[in-house]
């Protein structure tokens, strides 16, 4: 036995592997590297105060890769062959908090103010497009779709579509499948659950599957909002981007608000998160018509 090993307390040699891995510290230099990668790839801002959050979300990946330090992990992520690891890091560190009809005042405005004139236009053959940017696992766009169907039960027969996009491919896949746990379903309004979801028994227990009428209104796509350009060709009458922009740095936030402005056709509506505020040149292009609800000015 070496002298160095002999000096170690005997109980330190018997720590469970998981505890040893959890004891791996996330040094400031490594956190700075991780923050730089997130900023480069997605424009997401990570402060040094987020050490414990970043550590808790990435330590599982280190265990899977059998790594002994965050420096090793960063080296792998930044290597030419680390593209998938960078993607995995991004998905691990992005928050996917959502629920059906979250921030109910937005859906009340959608039901009473924003959608009725658009429904009338759809009946005349016009193209109606709505974007749920940062859609997570689909609860937001399906909430929008349910309101559309409440106003126009035969909506599938008209040119009405909801684009649901998210940077996390796992969330996009979840939304596309449209299957939700009993715990999530219990939080849905009863009329929504009973009308648009079917209770099914799966190997994972009781699940609730979105109806085909609901799913036909929504198209799910993987999309990085911080990309140089967005692939959408046409404009939208309504954009939901809630509790997403807050995670970006200040300059990226200004750029995103401007880009959303350019993607709206007037007088289109923009719904944002309760902790978010418009900034940059876009401020003068919108008028407030409700709590975190904005309408694009047409003059």
For the annotated catalytic residues, the residue numbers are: 57, 166
Sequential DSSP letters for 138-180: THHHHHHHHHHHHH-TTGGGSSEEEEEEES-HHHHHHHHHTEE
Per the structure block, which two tokens stand in for 210?
């979105």
CB atoms < 10 A from the CB of 159, how many?
12
Cα 98 to Cα 139: distance, rounded to the nearest angstrom? 7
**DSSP assignment, residue 248?**
B
Q: Which residues make beta-bridge pairs with 220?
A: 164
How far, CA to CA in Å, does 104 sit from each of 99, 109, 110? 11, 9, 10
For the beta sheet containing 179-181, the strands, ordered from the edge strand earlier in sequence to the opposite edge, are 179-181, 205-210, 197-202
């Amino acid at each position: 036995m070496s002298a160095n090993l002999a000096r170690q307390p005997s109980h330190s040699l018997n720590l469970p592997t998981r505890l040893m891995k959890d004891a791996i510290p996330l040094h400031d230099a490594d956190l700075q590297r991780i923050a730089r990668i997130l900023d480069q790839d997605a424009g997401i801002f990570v402060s040094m105060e987020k050490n414990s959050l970043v550590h808790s979300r990435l330590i599982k990946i280190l265990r899977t890769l059998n790594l002994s330090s965050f420096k090793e992990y960063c080296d792998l992520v930044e290597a030419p062959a680390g593209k998938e690891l960078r993607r995995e890091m991004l998905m691990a560190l992005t928050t996917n908090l959502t629920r059906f009809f979250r921030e109910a005042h937005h859906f009340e405005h959608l039901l009473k103010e924003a959608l009725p004139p658009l429904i009338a236009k759809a009946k005349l053959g016009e193209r109606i497009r709505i974007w749920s940017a940062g859609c997570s696992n689909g609860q937001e766009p399906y909430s929008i779709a349910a309101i559309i169907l409440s106003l126009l039960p035969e909506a599938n027969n008209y040119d009405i579509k909801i684009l649901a996009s998210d940077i996390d491919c796992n969330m996009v896949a979840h939304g596309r499948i449209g299957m939700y746990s009993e715990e999530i379903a219990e939080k849905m309004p009863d009329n929504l659950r009973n009308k648009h979801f079917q209770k099914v028994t799966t190997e994972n227990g009781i699940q609730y599957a979105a109806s085909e009428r609901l799913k036909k209104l929504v198209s799910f796509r993987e999309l990085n909002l911080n990309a140089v350009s967005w692939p959408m060709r046409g404009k939208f009458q309504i954009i939901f981007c809630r509790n997403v922009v807050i995670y970006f740095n200040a300059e990226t936030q200004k750029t995103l608000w401007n880009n959303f402005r350019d993607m709206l056709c007037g007088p289109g509506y923009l719904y944002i998160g309760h902790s978010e505020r418009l900034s940059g040149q876009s401020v003068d292009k919108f008028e407030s018509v409700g709590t975190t609800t904005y309408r694009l000015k047409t003059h």
